Amino acid sequence: VAIAPILLGSGEALFAGMDLPALGYACTEHVATPAATHVVLTRKA
């Protein structure tokens, strides 16, 4: 899923209000650049 602030104004908080750990997901990697933050979510087994 890609959300570009250039296209959507200030961006969209796609996962706001979701309890990802309760749904079985964890952030396993994140890389910040001047233009974006790349996040990898992995479902726990």
What is the secondary structure of 13-45 as a DSSP string?
A: -TTTT--TTTTTEEEEEEEE-SS-EEEEEEE--
Q: Identify the pLDDT of residue 8.
A: 56
Q: Identify the pLDDT of residue 15.
A: 80
Q: Identify the pLDDT of residue 9.
A: 61
Extents of the domains making up the chain = 18-45
Q: Identify the pLDDT of residue 14.
A: 77
- pLDDT tens-digit profile of 1-45? 666 666 556 667 778 889 999 999 999 999 988 888 888 999 987
pTM: 0.60
